[in-house]
Amino acid sequence: MSVSTVPRARAPAAEPTPAPPSASRLAALADTWLPRLVLSPTVVASLVFVYGFIGLTAWLSLTDSRMMPNFEYSGFGQYATLFELDRWWTAARNLGIFGGLFILACLSIGLGIAILLDQRIRHEGALRAIYLYPMALSFIVTGAAWKWILNPGLGLEKMMHDWGFGHFSFDWLVDPDMSIYTVVIAGVWQSSGFVMALFLAGLRGVDDAIIKAAMVDGASLPAIYRRIVIPSLRPVFFSVLLVLSHIAIKSFDLVMALTAGGPGTSSDVPAIFMYQFSFTRGRLGLGAASAMMMLATVLAVLVPLMYLETKGERNGRR
């Protein structure tokens, strides 16, 4: 990194100094180098453990490593294998379904509650605390709880039967066609309150004067939200999308606890695929290739979002 290239600051210290350095000169020297010294372990760690390790994983994905890593280049065979595996495509499709529904539901529920909470609600603090507490829980805890609630024999289904809805059936947890949707249900429960908090913070930042002016002009409340308030939340939408898509792509623990990718491999996601092929099936090369695909997905989603966001900021700046 550019830590070592500091010509401007180094100049005074590099001058030939005939006299022995005075105390103040030493202090100046310390002030020049101490900040870099303090930062350097982090920079080195980042170079090695983030960039270096990504490079190693990329390299590993180009070898035919199985149980043990070997570093002999063998081309793109792992990627070819990956793209021929039905299981990989199941995982990819599930990520699409889960990600899409999860983001959509969190956005609409989060924004909906935020708008309702913004109507001068009594006990707003308490309600907010209730909506947000799932965010403090581990996805494993959330998964365990919903696994029990959605239990086909004793959970929600039995409750509905007890209440007289004899034909109610809810067995998504064991239905290969529906299992991925249970992950959506649990994920939305956990994360929508967080989206609410972000939108509420955004709503509090909207200029009252604009709203008042629209009121005077006779605009209805829904129209004001639709035309003025919600469009002005554009930056919040970007952060929310950023965070939610990130959660979705990385999601591993929730699926592990709730369905463990099952029944069969029906609710597999790339993170689980990566874990199982790398650590339980001894296919390191394939695991590395799937990890690289996850990184590519994150980049494919985040880079355009961040580009749009900064572009929006630039246009919006007055």
Rule CB under 8 A: which of 160-199 touch other proteins?
162, 189, 193-194, 197-198
User: CA 78, CA 287: separation in Å to the nearest integer?
Assistant: 9
User: CA 271, CA 287: separation in Å to the nearest integer?
Assistant: 10
- Residue 255 interacts with other proteins (CB under 8 A): yes or no: no
| 122 CB-near residues (< 8 Å, 6+ apart) | none
CA 127 to chain centroid, in Å, comes to 25
Give the count of beta carbons closer than 10 Å to the beta carbon of residue 130: 11
Residue 52 C-beta: closest distance to other proteins, Å: 8
Binding to other proteins (CB under 8 A) within 12-31 occurs at: 24, 27, 30-31
Residue 318 C-beta: closest distance to other proteins, Å: 19
Binding to other proteins (CB under 8 A) within 277-296 occurs at: 278-279, 284, 287-288, 290-292, 294-295
Would you say 20 or 164 has its CB closer to other proteins?
Answer: 164
Give the count of beta carbons closer than 10 Å to the beta carbon of residue 95: 22
Residue 2 C-beta: closest distance to other proteins, Å: 3
Binding to other proteins (CB under 8 A) within 84-113 occurs at: 113
Find the part of the chain contacting other proteins (CB under 8 A) among 73-81, 92-100, 151-159, 165-173: 151-159
Residue 4, SS3 per DSSP: helix
- Residue 7 interacts with other proteins (CB under 8 A): yes or no: yes
- φ/ψ of 137, rounded to 5, equals -85, 155
Binding to other proteins (CB under 8 A) within 34-53 occurs at: 34-36, 38-39, 41-43, 45-46, 49-53
Would you say 90 or 193 has its CB closer to other proteins?
Answer: 193
- Residue 302 interacts with other proteins (CB under 8 A): yes or no: yes
| Residue from 131, 170, 172, 237 binding other proteins (CB under 8 A) | 131
DSSP string, 176-243: TTTHHHHHHHHHHHHHHHHHHHHHHHHHHTS-HHHHHHHHHTT--HHHHIIIIIHHHTHHHHHHHHHH
